[in-house]
């Protein structure tokens, strides 16, 4: 049995294949930054080589110091913000997404809620979206039920998650450099967000700048 594909279908497939991910670039007198956005489970899987929770977005960032000046590059110099609902997120470390460490919280010896705040460290796993532990201004549900105890647990015998290997291998390096460096930053925003609504902000040793993604 033969299968035929209409010419219009072939054209649509060709356009889809040629469609480039949204990207943007910006610079000041000290640094040039270029970024490419990968949103959606399939785009993330193809770029990373592993599957993440659907709320994760990847941003491939290139940082190029100018005039041969050494620049310290850190993951937390970056922040992703959405115009849609004001969500903002700093990048996750690979181990915060797929590491063996998990946060255990109890209230009076029992299981409790999770504190929530944008700027706190994040603990989670590959099976679901991580949640942040808050710093100043964080709130805890049902605080009156007892004292809150938090600790870290890890399974030393657990084999390294293949996703963690990929996350580490492709993460943007954190180091002082006078040469261009590039790699992935891992963000999480709940819900769907159009690329035009997303803003990548840099606030580091080279100053404050931001860029927008264009198709």
Query: Distance between CA atoms of 67 and 8, rounded to whole angstroms?
Result: 50
Greater confidence, 193 or 12?
Answer: 193
Contact 145, 190 (CB under 8 A): no
DSSP secondary structure letter of residue 107 = E
Which pLDDT belongs to residue 158? 57
Q: Residue 97: helix, strand or coil by DSSP?
A: helix
| Two tokens, residue 106 | 């109890």
- Name the residue among 88, 94, 63, 92 with its Cα closest to residue 205: 63
Task: Give mean pLDDT, residues 170-175.
Answer: 97
Q: What percent of the chain is predicted at pLDDT more than 70?
A: 64
What phi and psi, each to the nearest 5 degrees, are found at residue 85?
-140, 10
How many residues make up the chain in this entry? 215
Q: In what order do the strands lie in the sheet with 31-39?
A: 23-27, 31-39, 56-65, 181-188
Task: Scan for tokens 């299981």, then name that residue.
Answer: 111
Q: Does domain 19-94+161-212 have CATH number 3.30.56.10?
A: no
pLDDT beyond 60 at 163: yes
What phi and psi, each to the nearest 5 degrees, are found at residue 196?
-65, -15
- Residue 6: which pLDDT band, with cuts at 50, 70 and 90? low
Domain ranges of the chain: 19-94+161-212, 101-154
Neighbours of 121 (CB within 10 A): 15
Quick: pLDDT tens for 68-116: 899 999 999 999 999 999 999 999 999 999 877 533 333 343 333 323 3
| Two tokens, residue 123 | 């603990």
Query: Distance between CA atoms of 145 and 9, rounded to whole angstroms?
Result: 60
Which pLDDT belongs to residue 68? 86
| Two tokens, residue 190 | 């709940």
Among 1-5, 113-117, 140-144, 168-172, the range scoring the smallest mean pLDDT is 113-117
- Name the residue among 43, 69, 66 with its Cα closest to residue 56: 43
Please, what sign has the CA dihedral across residues 184, 29, 90, 198? negative
Helix/strand/coil (H, E, C) string of 152-192?
EEECCCCCCCHHHHHHHHHECCCEEECCCEEEEEEEECCCC
């Amino acid at each position: 049995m033969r299968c035929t594909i209409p010419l219009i279908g072939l054209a649509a497939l060709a356009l889809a294949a040629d469609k480039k991910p949204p990207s943007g670039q910006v610079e000041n007198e000290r640094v040039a930054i270029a970024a490419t956005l990968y949103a959606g489970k399939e785009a993330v899987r193809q770029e990373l080589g592993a599957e993440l929770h659907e709320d994760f977005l990847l941003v491939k960032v290139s940082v190029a110091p100018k005039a041969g000046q050494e620049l310290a590059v850190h993951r937390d110099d970056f922040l992703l913000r959405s115009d849609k609902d004001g969500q903002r997120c700093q990048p996750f470390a690979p181990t915060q997404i797929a590491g063996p460490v998990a946060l255990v919280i109890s209230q009076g010896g029992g299981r409790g809620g999770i504190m929530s705040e944008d700027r706190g460290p994040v603990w989670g796993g590959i099976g679901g979206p991580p949640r942040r532990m808050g710093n100043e201004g964080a709130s805890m549900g049902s605080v009156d039920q007892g004292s809150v105890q938090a600790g870290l647990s890890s399974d030393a015998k657990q084999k390294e998650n293949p996703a963690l290997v990929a996350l580490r291998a492709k993460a943007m390096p954190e180091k002082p450099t006078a040469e261009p460096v590039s790699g992935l930053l891992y963000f999480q925003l709940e819900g769907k967000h159009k690329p035009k609504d997303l803003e990548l902000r840099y606030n580091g040793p080279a100053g404050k700048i931001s860029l927008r993604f264009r198709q």
